[in-house]
Structures are given as structure tokens and as C-alpha cells.
């Protein structure tokens, strides 16, 4: 007997149970997992598409901004270059002006220095010359310098031309003749000078002797607006002139003069 | 020589018998269920899935695809019945590789039970799909004269299903048994491999025929 009907029934039942079991444990979970995954993948793909679109948009935005930035950059660079150029020119001009000013100041100070030096030299020279002359005169003539000066002054008075004498002759009431000298003249010199004055101008002339240190050395007669003078200052003035011309001849530039000073 | 595993009876109480066919079937059911449970217990819906899950997904979607290709539009509805038919027959036949195992499909009782299940399932699915009236009138097509032929066809194809599977499986086991007595080396291995192929083919044929019958029953009115 090939067919056992109990077995047939049992196997049919077994098969139905197996159908239920596999549905419960195999098909449903598997299909659910597949569905979920497909849903998930679809969602992720949609997300990715959205993100891609967003990224594309952002890229466009970025590119646009970048272009704008490049343009701005170029513009700012041009502007900065122009500003730098003008500023450079301005600074150069300023520096040039300042340097000119400084040079002028330097020249001024050099000139001042030169002047001071010249004056000091003149003063020193005067003193030296005076001392030497005096000493020489004393040594040679055994007379004082003042005596010699008086002699010279008297000889000058005598040497006046007639026209000059006429100019000296008294026009008004004034009879005072002012004799200025550096030192107090000794009485002999005074008498000598007074005699010479009276002889030249007139016997009524009163001589007044005054000490004037600014003459340095010499005698000066002031009478009736006329002035006759002999002093070393005159020689010194001419000497100073000649020394000054010697000093000015090699016109010093700033640096050379500074070293010289 | 035993022609059927039914003949090996472990326990009998009157009409109720516990033979090798039933016991083997239970073992297969247990293996299939536990295997499914183990894999589906840790199912993931991520992109990265386990290999077992991947294998089962291929199997299930493959069955679904076959059902769809035959012409059933909603494969999920038929997946339970037709998929289980294929899986059970395939598992029963593939286990023939285990020494001492006799496939339950080599028992005419099992194949008859499966064929009867198909025989019952076809009208159930047909009526569910197109209603009782429409389904019954399909027996009168193309004309009323065809009614007896349609009924005969229904019965005969059920018988054919049962006997085809039984014959193939039984013969495979028989041939291997006979060959073992004649040429005990190498040749039975070749035949055994051939038997595995036959088993898979039979599982496929059985389930695909069941699908075709159901498809015919559910779509008769639409055509």
C-alpha cells in the first residue's frame, strides 16, 4: 500500500503548520525589512538629491560671492596703489621741504657762527694789534702811546686844508670843543691839543676832555657839528674789512665750515 | 526493500501511526523554522546587512519574482503557500545528501497531501479573487460540454502532481539503493548529485505548476 491516508492527513496538516510558521518567521520579517530598507534608501536618495541641489545652489552662491570679492579686491588694490603713490609723492615733497628748511637753518647757523667768529677775531686782533702797537711804540720811542696819539692828532689838525679849517671856524656862539679819548690824557698832551685846537679854530675855544672807551684807542674832536678823529678803530675797521674779505673768499659749505669751526 | 518511508513505523496506536515520513517532516519543519528565526531575529534595515539575511532576501524576492512572472499580480498574497511548497520540497529533496535520510517526498502520502493542498488552494484562491459564481462558471468555459473534462482535468493534474514528485524522488532513492549494491564506489555519488539536481527541479516544477494553476483560477474571468 503506497498511500497511508493517516499520513496524508498528517502531512497536509504539517504543511499548513509550516506555511503558518514560515509566514510568521520568514516572509513577513524579511519583506518588512526589505520594505523598510527600500523606504530608507528612497528617503536617503531623496535627501541626497535635496542636499545635492542645495550644495549646487550654495556653490553658485559661493562662486557669485567669490567673483564679487575678486572684483572688490581688484578695485581696492587699485585704490590702495593710487593712494600709496600720492602719499609717497606727498611724503617725498614733505621730506624735500624739510631738508630745504634744514639746509637753510644750517646755512643760517653757519653764517652766525662765521659772524661770531669774525667778530671775535676782530676783537682779538684789535686787542693784539693795540697791545703790539703800544708796546712797539713804547719800546721804540720811549713815549707812551697816548703821547704819540696826541702828536698824530695835533699833526692832523695842522694838516687840515683851508676849506676844512673854514668849516671848523665858529659860526655861532658855541665855543666848546669836545675832545674824546680812551684814556685820561696827561696834562702835557691836553695842553698840546688845546693849543693846536685854539690855533686851528680860534683862541676863544674851550676844550672839554671826555673819556670814551668805545674809541678803543685814539682821539676824537667834535666841534660845532664837525668831527675830526684819529683812532686805531679806523685802522681796525679797514683791517677788519680786509680780513672779512679774506674769510669770505672761500665760501664754506655746511660740512666743511662745521669742521673748520 | 521499502518503497516508501511510510513503511518504517516508529509507533502505532490503532489508526494513528508515527512513521519515518512524519518524523522527517517534523525535523524539516523544525530546521526551517529555527533557521528562519535565527536569521530574522537580527534583521536590519540598514544598507549593510548580514550574509544570511542577504541570502534569505534573495530567496524570498526570487520566489516573489517567479510568482509575478507566472502572472499573479500580488505575489505577497500567494508567497506563504507557494513559497512554503517550494522551500519544503527543496529542503526535503536536498537533505537526501545526508546518509540514511529518506526524503518525505519519496512517500506518495506526502506528495498526495501536497497535491491535495494545491487541489484545495486553487478554488479557494480562485473564489477569493473572482467570486464563487465567476469561479464556478469558469468550469463551463469555453462551453458547458467542457464541464466534465474540466473536472477530470482538475483531478488528473492533482494526481499528476502527486505522482510526478513521488515517482521522481522515489526513483532517485531507489536507483541509488540499487546502484549501491552493484557499483558501491563513485557511481552512486554521481547519481546522488544527479538526484540533488532532480530534487531541485522537481521542487521548482511542483511549485511553478501550483502557481500556474492558481494563476489560471484567479485570472480566468479577466481573460
Cα–Cα distance for residue pair B11/B220, rounded to 1 Å: 46
A260 pLDDT band, cuts 50/70/90, is: very low
- Residue bearing the bigger pLDDT, A165 or B163: B163
pLDDT at B202 over 70: yes
Contact B6 A11 (CB under 8 A): no
Instruction: Please state the rounded mean pLDDT for residues A24-41.
Output: 91
Contact B16 A6 (CB under 8 A): yes
Among the ranges given (A35-44, A163-172, B74-83, B162-171), the one the predictor scored with the smallest mean pLDDT: A163-172
Q: Is residue B17 part of a domain?
A: no
Instruction: Name the nearest CA neighbour of A16 among B135, B25, B157, B204.
Output: B25
* A84-102 residue pLDDT tens: 999 999 999 999 999 999 9
Q: What are residue A228's phi and psi, to 5 degrees?
A: -120, 125
Here the cell at position A71 is 572684483
* A46-83 residue pLDDT tens: 999 999 999 999 999 999 999 999 999 999 999 999 99
Task: Tally the C-alpha atoms within 13 A of residue B194's C-alpha that lie toward its C-beta.
Answer: 12
Helices (H), A142-208: 145-158, 162-168, 187-200
Contact A11 B25 (CB under 8 A): yes
Q: Are strands A206-211 and B16-19 parallel, antiparallel or unpaired?
A: unpaired
| Chain B stretch 71-130, residues whose beta carbon is closer than 8 A to a beta carbon of chain A | 76, 79-81, 83-85, 87-88, 104, 107-110, 112-114, 116-117
Q: Is residue B84 part of a domain?
A: yes
Contact A11 B113 (CB under 8 A): yes
A203 pLDDT band, cuts 50/70/90, is: confident
What number is the ipTM of this complex? 0.91
**What's chain A's average pLDDT?**
81
pLDDT at A259 over 50: no
Q: Is residue B37 part of a domain?
A: no
Sole residue written with cell 600720492: A86
Q: Is residue B152 part of a domain?
A: yes
| Any B CB within 8 A of A22 CB | yes
Q: Is residue B138 part of a domain?
A: yes
Q: Give the A:B interface size as CB pairs under 8 Å.
A: 125
Q: Is residue B101 part of a domain?
A: no
Q: Is residue B202 part of a domain?
A: yes
CA distance A80 to chain B (A): 57
Of B17, B40, B85, the CB nearest to A26: B40
B81 pLDDT band, cuts 50/70/90, is: very high
Contact B47 A27 (CB under 8 A): no
* B20-70 residue pLDDT tens: 999 999 999 999 999 999 988 888 877 788 898 899 999 999 999 999 999
Residue B63 in contact with residue B83, Cβ under 8 Å?
Answer: yes
- pLDDT value of residue A1: 55
When divided into structural domains, chain B yields a total of 1
Domain range for B70 is: 65-96+106-219
Amino acid at each position: 500500500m503506497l498511500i497511508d491516508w493517516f499520513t496524508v492527513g498528517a502531512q497536509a496538516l504539517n504543511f499548513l503548520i509550516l506555511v503558518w510558521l514560515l509566514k510568521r518567521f520568514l516572509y513577513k520579517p524579511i519583506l518588512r525589512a526589505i520594505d523598510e530598507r527600500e523606504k530608507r534608501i528612497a528617503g536617503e536618495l531623496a535627501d541626497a538629491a535635496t542636499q545635492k541641489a542645495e550644495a549646487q545652489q550654495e556653490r553658485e552662491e559661493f562662486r557669485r560671492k567669490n567673483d564679487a570679492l575678486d572684483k572688490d579686491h581688484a578695485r581696492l588694490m587699485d585704490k590702495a596703489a593710487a593712494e600709496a603713490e600720492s602719499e609717497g609723492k606727498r611724503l617725498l615733497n614733505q621730506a624735500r621741504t624739510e631738508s630745504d628748511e634744514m639746509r637753510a637753518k644750517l646755512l643760517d647757523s653757519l653764517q652766525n657762527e662765521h659772524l661770531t667768529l669774525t667778530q671775535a677775531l676782530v676783537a682779538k686782533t684789535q686787542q693784539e694789534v693795540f697791545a703790539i702797537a703800544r708796546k712797539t711804540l713804547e719800546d721804540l720811542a720811549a713815549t707812551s702811546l697816548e703821547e704819540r696819539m696826541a702828536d698824530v692828532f695835533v699833526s692832523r689838525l695842522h694838516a687840515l686844508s683851508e676849506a676844512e679849517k673854514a668849516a671848523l671856524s665858529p659860526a655861532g656862539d658855541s665855543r666848546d670843543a669836545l675832545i674824546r679819548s680812551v684814556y685820561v690824557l696827561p696834562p702835557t698832551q691836553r695842553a698840546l691839543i688845546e693849543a693846536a685846537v685854539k690855533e686851528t679854530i680860534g683862541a676863544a675855544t674851550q676844550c672839554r676832555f671826555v673819556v670814551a672807551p668805545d674809541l678803543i684807542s685814539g682821539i676824537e674832536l667834535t666841534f660845532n657839528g664837525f668831527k675830526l678823529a684819529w683812532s686805531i678803530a679806523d685802522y681796525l675797521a679797514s683791517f677788519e674789512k680786509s680780513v672779512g674779505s679774506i674769510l669770505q673768499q672761500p665760501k664754506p659749505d655746511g660740512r666743511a665750515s662745521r669742521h673748520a669751526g | 526493500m521499502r518503497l516508501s518511508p511510510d513503511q518504517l513505523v516508529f509507533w502505532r496506536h490503532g489508526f494513528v501511526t508515527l512513521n519515518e515520513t512524519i518524523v522527517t517532516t517534523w525535523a524539516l519543519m523544525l530546521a526551517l523554522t529555527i533557521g528562519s528565526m535565527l536569521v530574522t531575529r537580527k534583521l536590519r534595515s540598514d544598507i549593510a546587512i548580514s550574509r544570511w539575511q542577504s541570502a534569505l532576501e534573495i530567496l524570498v524576492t526570487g520566489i516573489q519574482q517567479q510568482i509575478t512572472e507566472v502572472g499573479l499580480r500580488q505575489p505577497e498574497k500567494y508567497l506563504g503557500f507557494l513559497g512554503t511548497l517550494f522551500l519544503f520540497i527543496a529542503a526535503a529533496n536536498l537533505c537526501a545528501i545526508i546518509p540514511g535520510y529518506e526524503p518525505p517526498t519519496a512517500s506518495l502520502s506526502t506528495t498526495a497531501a501536497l497535491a491535495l493542498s494545491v487541489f484545495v488552494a486553487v478554488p479557494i484562491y480562485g473564489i477569493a479573487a473572482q467570486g464563487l459564481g465567476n469561479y464556478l462558471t469558469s468550469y463551463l468555459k469555453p462551453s458547458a460540454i467542457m464541464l466534465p473534462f474540466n473536472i477530470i482535468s482538475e483531478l488528473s493534474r492533482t494526481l499528476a502532481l502527486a505522482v510526478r514528485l513521488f515517482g521522481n524522488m522515489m526513483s532517485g532513492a531507489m536507483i541509488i539503493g540499487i546502484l549501491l549494491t552493484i557499483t558501491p564506489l563513485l557511481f552512486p555519488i554521481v547519481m546522488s548529485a544527479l538526484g540533488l539536481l532532480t530534487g531541485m527541479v522537481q521542487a521548482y516544477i511542483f511549485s511553478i505548476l501550483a502557481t500556474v494553476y492558481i494563476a489560471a483560477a484567479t485570472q480566468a474571468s479577466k481573460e
